[in-house]
Amino acid sequence: MPESLWLIIAAVLSLTGMTWLALAMHWDQVMPRPASRADAPRRTLRGFGTVMLAASAVASMLADRPSMAVLVWFMLLAASALTVALALAWRPALLRVLCPLRAH
Amino acid sequence: MFANFRQSMAWLHTWFGLVLGYVLMSCFFFGALSVFDREIDRWALPETRFAPQPMPSFDKVLAPAFARLEADPADYALNMPAMHDPAKGPQTPRLSLPADEYWAYTTHRDPVLAIGAGFRVPLAKDPDGHNHIHGNATIDPRSGAAVPSDQLKIGSQWFYPMHYSLNWQWRNMGIFIVGLAGLVMLAALVTGVIMHRKFFREFFTFRPAKQTQRSLLDLHNLTGVVALPFHFFFAFTGLLIFAGFYYFPVSQFQLKPLHDQHEIIEARETGLPHARAGIPAPLASVDAMMAEARRRWAARDMAGEVGFLQLQHMGDANGYVSIYRAGSDRVALVGEAIHFKASTGEVLREEPPRAPVPALNEFLAGLHLQHFEHWLLRWLYVLGGLLGCVCIATGFIFFVEKRKQQHARSGLQGARVVDALAVGCVTGMIIAAIGILVANRLLPAGLTDKGAWEQQIFWGLWALSFVHAALRGAPVAQARINPAWREQCWTIAALALAAVALNAITTGDHLLKTLFLDPYLAVAGVDLSLLVCAGLAIAAALKLARRERHPVAMGAADPVEVANA
Amino acid sequence: MTIPLTASLRKFSLPLRILAAILGGWAFSWSFVACSTTVLVGLGMPFHDAETASLMLGLLAFLTVFLWAFATRSALRVATALPVGALLFHVVALLLQRQILSWGL
């Protein structure tokens, strides 16, 4: 079942990408170090987050024909953005776990 | 009238959103349920709980089933006198009408098969017209036996039409109201983006701990923004699907001459006869034609199940058979039709690849109608639909929250009325939807017109929820929470648990069996969704009870944005 | 005479605007679809393709004029511009249709 494997990868990539973008934007809610002194890691997170979302689009394309993949990708973005927003509101510590930088 | 552009857009968003939001709420909710309409059908019709079947053999199963079809008495009574010309001779009795057209339709999720016939009206007033009396049935494709027709397919015949017509057929009023609501949805999205200035900065923002108004507006923005493409394209494609026939029917009105000329050109180009020849002819093996169609699709490297089968001009030398592929592997709708001459089985025409415009149209219609086989995308669509519901519902509640303090001080009832309507449209709608499932399991299977009873119970429960919300709404006029919200949440939880229990008791298909012992995911999925719904309803009820005891301090959150909303 | 007229206009300006936006906008986009269909058929597109493309554009046109009806300053302008536009598109559609039909099959 390579299709479902690619779909899972696409979902994970989109969730990771959204998490990093959210960390870059809402750094203060999650991290102990103030955002004003974390410009460099936030820029890195924004860059990596965008790359992850693009990679998620590629994984969707590998799972389905392009017309279908576009729909799947847009809906995955919606689902992961919602998940990240709810995590940010209720369990912000979870997002810290997914941060790739040792930059608290 | 409006001080500036932004204010006019805010007015449009608030008031059109409020008035048509009630309609949009049912479009999104029942639309989300329609994603799994076939699965809800299986839950409601226990005797159809078997695996999806491919299109059966025509010669062995379909031909005898078609022969048993009768013209529908209601259709006959309504349309026969209008089509028949008494000057030419007596009216043909209903059961003696000759069949002119047969069709059968299935998808990769259908155990049962929908079939139908168009019966010809002899001695018609307009012999060139499309004079058909219809008769439809649902059959078990394994045996050809009919599935009782007075049973309501709650998914595909009640929830599904509910989401585009509100099940109000009179002069297609429901379809036009939903159309206006669809336009308002598009307008609300555009105006919402104009109003929401911090579109990107607040992309992930939801602050449940802040004041009610602030966190409601957060949730309203969040659910609207993250699924913005979904909301836009579902409203747009929904309108597009009905536009040609209902909203802008140019080809039936001012452009009818141009349309009719095109029909003649098209018939000449495709070689498919428009009318009967009047010469009797036999029917060659349709099974052989289906095999040939599958062979040709396979040669073009396409997944090849027959989705739609249509026989035109039955028993006539001009008769032909059209075989359409089930589009389970792509977004666009069924297609790649191959047409055969009915009397000989020779291929008349194989449809060429589509031009860009119809290809785009079929992609747009297909992304809404979802004939494809993709379970992840189906669930994501359910999520999109529910996000739409949350977006609209938070809009209602925000409207009430913003005004109820002021209304309470000046003794106005506006906030109370809007709140009661919101209760009926949010929790009341869920009560009606789950209530019809409970009724389906409680009413005896042999009850005559069981489907009609179920529909009455659906409307009755929904109406009751509005009455209940109105009667319990007094606290809103004192700027407190309507206890109807909490009470109806408990009702939802009780009904959902009852539905799951009744399904297990009356059919024996409990979750252990449908998940593990003898998996049948359609029924298990409905049961599990009901359990999740019950859990969420209980959580909401407990939370509401806490809020009623300890009201959160009210106060305008962000004066600028709240004023604009 | 002019003062009561403007006053009554102001009183009815909101209902007039709403009515014009919905019904006028509908008529406008309906005629737009007809006109656009005949233009595209005239340019050689098959009828149903032209109709489909026009329906898509027509829905976007409806959305645009609906928003414009509330954004623009004068309600009277909305109530006149949309019906006049509808009539113009309708007449052009009928004339083009007659022209195309005269070319024969």
- Chain B contact for C69, CB < 8 A? no
Q: Given this model, what pLDDT does residue B452 score?
A: 94
- Show the tokens assigned to A35: 């955002």
Beta-bridge partners for B335: B325
If DSSP states are collapsed to H, E and C, what string results for B518-545? CCCHHHHHHHHHHHHHHHHHHHHHHHHH
Q: pLDDT: is B270 or B517 the higher one?
A: B517
Work out the pLDDT band at B26, boundaries 50, 70, 90: very high
Residue B54 CB burial class (10 angstroms; 0-12, 13-18, ≥19)? middle
Q: Given this model, what pLDDT does residue B387 score?
A: 97
C-chain CB neighbours of B264 within 8 Å are 105
Q: Given this model, what pLDDT does residue B528 score?
A: 98
**How far is residue B314's CA from residue B559's CA, in Å, rounded to a whole number?**
71
Query: Which amino acid would we find at residue B178?
Result: V
Subunits with at least 3 CB pairs below 8 A relative to chain C?
B
**Contact B/C (≥3 CB pairs under 8 Å):** yes
Work out the pLDDT band at B270, boundaries 50, 70, 90: confident
Q: Given this model, what pLDDT does residue B558 score?
A: 44
Can you state the angle between helices B414-442 and B483-507, rounded to 10 degrees? Answer: 10
Q: Given this model, what pLDDT does residue A61 score?
A: 95
Q: Given this model, what pLDDT does residue B465 score?
A: 97
Q: Do C67 and B358 touch (CB under 8 A)?
A: no
Among B205, B208, B380, select the one facing A79 at the smallest CB separation: B380
Find out whether A21 and A49 touch, Cβ atoms under 8 Å: yes
Q: B248 to chain A nearest CA, in Å?
A: 28
**How far is residue C39's CA from residue C37's CA, in Å, rounded to a whole number?**
5
Q: B140 to chain A nearest CA, in Å?
A: 31
Mean pLDDT of chain B: 92
Q: What single DSSP character describes residue C43?
A: T
Q: Give the rounded percent of residues in chain A with a pLDDT score beyond 90.
A: 63
pLDDT digits (tens, 9 = 90+) for B303-346: 778 999 999 999 999 999 999 998 787 888 767 899 999 999 99
- Chain A contact for B35, CB < 8 A? no
C-chain CB neighbours of B355 within 8 Å are 46, 49
A-chain CB neighbours of B335 within 8 Å are none
Nearest CA to B315 out of B125, B67, B128, B94 is that of B67
A-chain CB neighbours of B384 within 8 Å are 75, 78
Residue A17 neighbours by CB distance under 10 Å: 26
Q: Do A78 and B387 touch (CB under 8 A)?
A: yes
- Which ipTM did the prediction report? 0.94
- Write out the DSSP string of B93-131: PGGGPPEEEEEEE--TT-SSEEEEEEEE-SSBSSTTS--
Best A46, A68, A77, A84 member to test B by mutation, with max B CBs in 10 Å, is A68
pLDDT digits (tens, 9 = 90+) for B60-88: 999 999 999 999 999 999 999 999 999 99
Q: Given this model, what pLDDT does residue B265 score?
A: 86
Query: Which amino acid would we find at residue C14?
Result: L
- What residue segments make up the domains of chain C, in order of their start? 29-102
Q: Please name the helix (run of DSSP H) or strand (run of DSSP E) that holds residue B138, with its range, or none.
A: strand B132-139
The pairing of beta strand B99-105 with beta strand B306-312: antiparallel
Q: Given this model, what pLDDT does residue B563 score?
A: 47
Q: B257 to chain C nearest CA, in Å?
A: 8
Q: Given this model, what pLDDT does residue B446 score?
A: 86
Residue B154 neighbours by CB distance under 10 Å: 25
pLDDT at B539 over 60: yes
Find out whether B111 and B522 touch, Cβ atoms under 8 Å: no
Work out the pLDDT band at A32, boundaries 50, 70, 90: confident
Query: Which amino acid would we find at residue B132?
Result: H
**How far is residue B394's CA from residue A85's CA, in Å, rounded to a whole number?**
16
A-chain CB neighbours of B201 within 8 Å are 25
- Chain A contact for B207, CB < 8 A? yes
Tell me how far the alpha carbon of residue B268 is from its chain's centroid.
Answer: 36
If DSSP states are collapsed to H, E and C, what string results for B166-207? CCCCHHHHHHHHHHHHHHHHHHHHHHHHHHCCCCCCCCCCCC
Find out whether B328 and B373 touch, Cβ atoms under 8 Å: yes
Mean pLDDT of chain A: 90
Q: C78 to chain B nearest CA, in Å?
A: 13
Q: Do A82 and B207 touch (CB under 8 A)?
A: no
B-chain CB neighbours of A79 within 8 Å are 380, 383
pLDDT digits (tens, 9 = 90+) for B175-188: 999 999 999 999 99
A-chain CB neighbours of B214 within 8 Å are none
Among A7, A64, A78, select the one facing B226 at the smallest CB separation: A78
Q: B229 to chain C nearest CA, in Å?
A: 15
Q: Do C46 and B2 touch (CB under 8 A)?
A: no
- Mean pLDDT along residues A9-14: 97
A-chain CB neighbours of B208 within 8 Å are 89-90
Q: Given this model, what pLDDT does residue A102 score?
A: 63
Q: B226 to chain A nearest CA, in Å?
A: 5
**How far is residue B212's CA from residue A92's CA, in Å, rounded to a whole number?**
21
Q: B524 to chain C nearest CA, in Å?
A: 40
Q: Give the rounded percent of residues in chain A with a pLDDT score beyond 70.
A: 96
Q: Do C34 and B250 touch (CB under 8 A)?
A: yes
B-chain CB neighbours of A69 within 8 Å are none
What residues contact B405, with CB distance under 8 A and at least 6 apart? Answer: B479, B554
Range in A31-40, B62-71, B527-536 the model is least confident about: A31-40
B-chain CB neighbours of A12 within 8 Å are none
- Chain B contact for A90, CB < 8 A? yes
Subunits with at least 3 CB pairs below 8 A relative to chain A?
B
A-chain CB neighbours of B227 within 8 Å are 78, 82
Q: B206 to chain A nearest CA, in Å?
A: 6
Among B239, B248, B264, select the one facing C33 at the smallest CB separation: B248
Q: Given this model, what pLDDT does residue B69 score?
A: 94
- Mean pLDDT along residues B185-193: 97
What residues contact B474, with CB distance under 8 A and at least 6 apart? Answer: B416
pLDDT at B420 over 70: yes
- Residue ranges in B472-512 assigned as alpha helix (H): 474-477, 483-507, 511-512
Among B1, B191, B236, select the one facing C75 at the smallest CB separation: B1
**How far is residue A21's CA from residue B508's CA, in Å, rounded to a whole number?**
49
Q: Given this model, what pLDDT does residue A1 score?
A: 57
pLDDT digits (tens, 9 = 90+) for B207-236: 988 888 999 999 999 999 999 999 999 999
* Residue with token string 């709650």: B154
Q: C63 to chain B nearest CA, in Å?
A: 6
For chain C, the distance separating the N- and C-terminal CA atoms, rounded to the nearest angstrom, is: 59
- Mean pLDDT along residues B288-300: 93
Among C14, C48, C94, select the one facing B1 at the smallest CB separation: C14
What residues contact B364, with CB distance under 8 A and at least 6 apart? Answer: B233, B236, B237, B240, C56
Give the C-alpha distances (Å, rounded to integers) separating B322 from B25, B316, B337, B338, B414: 39, 15, 6, 6, 58
Q: Given this model, what pLDDT does residue B560 score?
A: 44
Q: Is B144 left (phi over 0), alpha (psi -120 to 50) or beta?
A: left
Subunits with at least 3 CB pairs below 8 A relative to chain B?
A, C
* Alpha-carbon torsion (B468, B470, B475, B480), positive or negative: positive
Among B204, B227, B377, select the one facing A26 at the smallest CB separation: B204
Q: Do C67 and B12 touch (CB under 8 A)?
A: yes
- Chain A contact for B356, CB < 8 A? no
B-chain CB neighbours of A74 within 8 Å are 229-230
For A1-104, list the strands marked E by DSSP: none
Q: Given this model, what pLDDT does residue B557 score?
A: 43
pLDDT along chain C (105 residues), means of 10: 57 90 98 98 94 97 97 92 97 96 81
- Show the tokens assigned to B296: 């040709």
Q: Given this model, what pLDDT does residue A38 score?
A: 79
- Chain B contact for A66, CB < 8 A? no
Three-class DSSP category at A32 = coil
**How far is residue B223's CA from residue B388's CA, in Å, rounded to a whole number?**
7
If DSSP states are collapsed to H, E and C, what string results for B79-90? HHHHHECHHHCC
Among B236, B262, B357, select the one facing C59 at the smallest CB separation: B236
- Show the tokens assigned to B356: 């860009």
* Residue with token string 């279908």: A68
Q: C30 to chain B nearest CA, in Å?
A: 5
Three-class DSSP category at B136 = strand
Q: Per this entry, what is the length of chain C?
A: 105
Q: Given this model, what pLDDT does residue B397 score?
A: 93
Q: Given this model, what pLDDT does residue A100 score?
A: 74
